[in-house]
Structure 1
Amino acid sequence: MKTIAFIPVRGGSKSIPLKNIKEFCGKPLVYWTIKAAVETKSIDEVIIATDHEQIETEVNSFGFNKVSVYRRNSSNAQDSSSTESVILEYLEVRELDKKDAFVLIQATSPLLSAKDLTAGIKMFDKQEYDSVLSCVLSKRFFWKGNGDPINYDPYSRPRRQDFEGIYMENGAFYINTVGKIKESSNRLSGNIGICLMPEYTDVELDEEDDWQRAEILMKKYILPEQTKKKIRLFISDIDGVLTDAGMYYSENGDELKKFNTHDGMAFQLIRESGVKTAIITSENTELVKRRADKLKVDYLYQGKRDGGKLSAALEICEKEGVTIEDVAYIGDDINCFELLSAVGLAACPSNALRKIRNIPGIIKLSRKGGEGVVREFYEEVLAKIL
Structure 2
Amino acid sequence: MTIEMNQKTVIIIPARYGSSRLPGKPLADIAGKPMVQHVVERASQVSGIDAVWVATDDQRVFDTVEAFGGQAVMTSPEHASGTDRLVEVMQKVPADIYLNVQGDEPLVRPGDLALLVEAMHDSWVKVGTLCHAISAEEARNPNTVKVLCDQFDDALYFSRSPIPYPREAEEASYRKHVGVYAYRREVLEGYSQLPQPMAERAESLEQLRLMHSGIKIRVIEVEETGPGVDTPECLEKVRVLVEGRPSCPKSEPLARTRLLITDVDGVLTDGGIYYDASGESLKQFHVRDGLGIRLLEECGIQVAVLSGRDSATLRKRVADLGISHSRLGVKDKHAACLELMTAAGVTADQTVFIGDDVIDLPAFEACGSAYAVADAPDYIKSQADEVLSLPGGKGAVRELADRILSAQGKKAVYSTAAGFLGNVAKVAQ
Aligned amino acid, residue 250 of structure 1 = D
Return the alpha-carbon distance in structure 1 between the equivalents of residues 242 and 348 of structure 2. Answer: 33
Return the alpha-carbon distance in structure 2 between the equivalents of residues 323 and 292 of structure 1. Answer: 23
Range with greater deviation from structure 2 (335-344 or 311-320)? 311-320
Closer/same/farther in 2, CA of residues 275 and 116 from structure 1, 3 Å limit: closer
Closer/same/farther in 2, CA of residues 76 and 254 from structure 1, 3 Å limit: closer
Aligned amino acid, residue 288 of structure 1 = L
Tell me the residue number matched to 2:157.
Answer: 18
Tell me the residue number matched to 1:318.
Answer: 342
* 1:287 corresponds to 2:310: no
**Quick check: 1:240–1:332 contact (8 Å CA) kept in 2?**
yes
* 1:348 corresponds to 2:387: no
Give 2:291's match in structure 1, choosing from 247, 257, 265.
Answer: 265
Return the alpha-carbon distance in structure 2 between the equivalents of residues 365 and 232 of structure 1. Answer: 19
SS of 1:246's partner is: coil
Aligned amino acid, residue 266 of structure 1 = G
CA-CA distance at 1:22 after TM superposition: 3.4
**Quick check: 1:20–1:30 contact (8 Å CA) kept in 2?**
no
**Quick check: 2:147–2:176 contact (8 Å CA) kept in 1?**
no
**Quick check: 1:327–1:343 contact (8 Å CA) kept in 2?**
yes
Tell me the residue number matched to 1:363.
Answer: 386
CA-CA distance at 1:259 after TM superposition: 0.3
**Quick check: 2:267–2:391 contact (8 Å CA) kept in 1?**
yes
**Quick check: 1:11–1:55 contact (8 Å CA) kept in 2?**
no
Tell me the residue number matched to 1:302.
Answer: 328
**Quick check: 1:229–1:344 contact (8 Å CA) kept in 2?**
no
Tell me the residue number matched to 1:8.
Answer: 130
Tell me the residue number matched to 2:51.
Answer: none
SS of 2:334's partner is: helix
**Quick check: 2:263–2:354 contact (8 Å CA) kept in 1?**
yes
SS of 1:234's partner is: strand
Return the alpha-carbon distance in structure 1 between the equivalents of residues 267 and 255 of structure 2. Answer: 22
* 1:374 corresponds to 2:397: yes
The TM-score normalised by the length of structure 1 is 0.50
Count of matched residue pairs:
238
SS of 1:312's partner is: helix
Aligned amino acid, residue 352 of structure 2 = A
Tell me the residue number matched to 2:217.
Answer: 77
* 1:30 corresponds to 2:69: no
Aligned amino acid, residue 259 of structure 1 = F
Range with greater deviation from structure 2 (225-234 or 289-298)? 225-234
Return the alpha-carbon distance in structure 1 between the equivalents of residues 251 and 200 of structure 2. Answer: 27
The TM-score normalised by the length of structure 2 is 0.46
**Quick check: 1:237–1:331 contact (8 Å CA) kept in 2?**
yes
Tell me the residue number matched to 1:338.
Answer: 362
CA-CA distance at 1:23 after TM superposition: 3.7
SS of 2:359's partner is: helix
- Deviation digits for residues 116-159 of structure 1, max 9, x if unmatched? 99999999xxxxxxxxxxxxxxxxxxxxxxxxxxxxxxxxxxxx
Closer/same/farther in 2, CA of residues 23 and 118 from structure 1, 3 Å limit: farther
CA-CA distance at 1:332 after TM superposition: 0.8
CA-CA distance at 1:317 after TM superposition: 1.8
CA-CA distance at 1:60 after TM superposition: 6.5
CA-CA distance at 1:356 after TM superposition: 1.6
Closer/same/farther in 2, CA of residues 48 and 59 from structure 1, 3 Å limit: farther
Return the alpha-carbon distance in structure 2 between the equivalents of residues 48 and 70 of structure 1. Answer: 14
SS of 1:325's partner is: helix
RMSD of aligned alpha carbons: 4.5
- Deviation digits for residues 276-305 of structure 1, max 9, x if unmatched? 111010011111000000111111111112
- What is the percentage of aligned positions where both structures have the same residue? 22
- Deviation digits for residues 176-224 of structure 1, max 9, x if unmatched? xxxxxxxxxxxxxxxxxxxxxxxxxxxxxxxxxxxxxxxxxxxxxxx99
Closer/same/farther in 2, CA of residues 70 and 375 from structure 1, 3 Å limit: same
Return the alpha-carbon distance in structure 2 between the equivalents of residues 317 and 121 of structure 1. Answer: 32
**Where does the alignment leave 5 or more consecutive residues of structure 1 unmatched?**
35-46, 62-67, 84-103, 124-222
